Amino acid sequence: MLRVVQSFALMFFIAVLVACGSGGGGTTANTPSNSGSASSGSASNSSGATPATIAAAITALDTTLPADPSLTLPAVCATLQATLMQSAFSSPTSTDPSIDANPINSNPDTAAIQNALNACTAGQAVKLVTNGALNAFLTGPLTLPSGVTLWVDSGVTLYASRNAADYDSGSAGFCGGAYKSGVSPPPSGSGGCKALIAVPAGATNSGVIGLGAIDGRGGSVLTGGPVLTINSTPFPTAGKMTWWDVAMLSKLTPTALSQNCPVLLDLTKGGSNFTMWGIALLNSPHFHVKMDSYNGFTAWGVQVLSPTLAYADNNYACTATGHTIRPTGPASGSPATSPSTCFTPDDIKNTDGIDPGGSNNVTIAYSYISDGDDNVAITASNSNSCVTLNPNNSFCSSTNTKIAHNHFYYGHGMSVGSGTEGGVSGLQVWDLSIDGKGSSNGAGLRIKSSATEGGSVSATYTKVCIQNEKQPIVIDPNYSSTGGSSLFPDYHDISFVGIHAVTLAGAKYPNSTNWNNVIDGYNASFMVKNLILDNVYFDTSVKGDPAWGNSAHPGVGYVSAAPNYANIVIGSGSTNFAIPTNGASVTVTGTTGTATAGNAVDCTSAFPAFSSVNPLAPI
């Protein structure tokens, strides 16, 4: 009952804040203005999104967070002492250490860890600890039983096997390979691989905690794996490619291969009340955390970091002697003849941070995430073991997701989609910083879908600082070039409150001259409805006024470099830039261009270096 009362109070508070900021309430965006100009409508109420009201909104939102998991850590059922040294995993090199060069030695600790997990009573934890100078474990795939927690203690690293054969999910030996679409059976993504840590269907109250690290070793040379046929030429992956090299084949070759690399933590079978606390997830070959159909998930104080300094230079320069990025071939359709030895986040495909799919009551808080794909992606495209089923189709809905007090770095931003068939609602993002480092593949706040995987999406973003991102805001219903269907993107009631895009020193890659935002609905029937911009301020001293772009697959009737099919409401906190109204079916209610630097969200301390919390971070 307390949670219900808190939620109602929060919704009321946010509704009041937005109503004050919109100069007429949430429904005004659905009403076309008389002139269609950015100056039409009224926003005379000045009590909207000011620093004071934004701070009050954050305080109210914080009352809905669950308790810090460190306050109630589980009892320990078994303590396992480390058997190896972390230094052995970088000798002679991190990419190809001698400790497990022979695949016979690929996972010496698997049995001991799995046996301890299996023997543990629900509600307790298996704890991995140091043993004098020994501070590492080496394992293959593990299954985390229902109710059991894996606790990786401070100073300990659990390393993953780099022998693809250890992860093979069947007899065909697909794991560690990249295959053309249509192979029978058709592996894709991680379909041919077991996860490093898998949680069975229906598990409840399991977790992965501790101040140690789990390292997927995505940049390490494979010691086992299939022989691929690429451009009619047999090619062994073992000794020739890393997990990330395999993944890049799917991106760079004209044959559109699909990689098979293991997920670090697999929660896709459905369950409830999974907890992550303190743990550092490093160098995943594929997704770091992939989740579907969970009712209750908390990630608190978690670090997701790929690549680490084991596979990169400081600031991801990758210019040191002997370092090579994709040494030969993939861009021209041929596999590399030797493994890459240095990686940037842009070279590690599909290494998403945390991706909750079709799940309810999800919290990601006080965490640091830097990777090669979406930092966080909220989806609703799964259809098994649904917590909440969309009544209009067979897909699971995503509801009540809280993204609070986090720091994102390299990656594709705070994303929704691309699959949103079941509908995404109750998404609250607050006190977020995103420092994209100027990556050409980066994005800030992004909602993406297409005509074959669309659904209802609503969300509120409150107090977000964005730095070195070419595209701070992206709303894209044409993320992929697909034909029409009944699953159209339906974006509505989306609020951006207290958003500040800044340009400070430190970008790794050059940006274009201007910001470039995308705000598009699908068509006149599926417009972006009631999109609220309240105190949205973009620094202009370096980058100039925002430019406007469109999807790479623009819809029918789109006007380029302008919002399309959108009803936009300007709150009394306003914006410091104009919004073009020459796009297809665009209305803007409220006055733009009056936001001031004094009222903008303060971002001067919003972007801590990742290395300030993890010495393995190149940034």
Of 265, 418, 371, which is closest to residue 617 (Cα–Cα)? Answer: 371
Contact 565, 499 (CB under 8 A): no
Residue 373 annotated in active site: yes
Beta bridge partners of 499: 464, 536
Name every residue whose Cβ is closer than 8 Å to that of residue 111 and which is 6 or more positions away in sequence. Answer: none
Which position among 288, 412, 492, 500 bears the catalytic label? 412
- 580 prior amide bond cis, ω within 30: no
| Secondary structure (DSSP) of 465-502 | EEES-S-SEEEES-SS-----S---EEEEEEEEEEEEE
Dig out the tokens for 309 from the structure. Answer: 């300094």
- Spatial neighbors of 619 by CB under 8 A, at least 6 apart, are 315, 316, 370, 409, 410, 437, 609, 610, 611
Q: Is the peptide bond before 307 cis (omega within 30 degrees of 0)?
A: yes
User: 265, 215 in Cβ contact below 8 A?
Assistant: no
Q: Decide: helix, strand or coil at residue 257.
A: strand
The answer to whether residues 542 and 506 touch, using CB atoms and an 8 Å cutoff, is no
Terminal CA-CA length for the chain: 44
Question: To which H or E segment does residue 290 belong?
Answer: strand 289-292
| Active-site residue identified among 266, 352, 371, 373 | 373
Q: Which residues contact 271 (CB under 8 A, 6 or more apart)?
A: 146, 199, 200, 201, 202, 203, 204, 206, 293, 294, 295
Amino acid, res. 100: D
Q: What are phi and psi of 518, to 5 degrees?
A: -125, 120
Strands 157-160 and 136-139: parallel
For the chain, give the longest Cα–Cα distance. Answer: 75
Q: Which residues, listed in sequence order, are joined to residue 126 by a DSSP beta bridge?
A: 78, 150
CA distance 53 to 463: 11
| Per-residue CA distances from 249 to 178, 228, 244, 287, 505 (Å) | 7, 11, 9, 17, 33
Question: Beta 178-180 vs 257-259: how paired, if at all?
Answer: antiparallel
- Distance, in Å, from the CA atom of 541 to the CA atom of 524, rounded to the nearest integer, reads 36
- The residues with which 193 forms a beta bridge, in sequence order, are 168
CA distances from 232 to 175, 180, 202, 237, 340 (A): 20, 12, 44, 15, 23
* 55 within 8 A of 580, measured Cβ to Cβ: no
Q: Within 31-128, where are the H helices?
A: 51-62, 110-119
Residues classed as catalytic? 373, 412
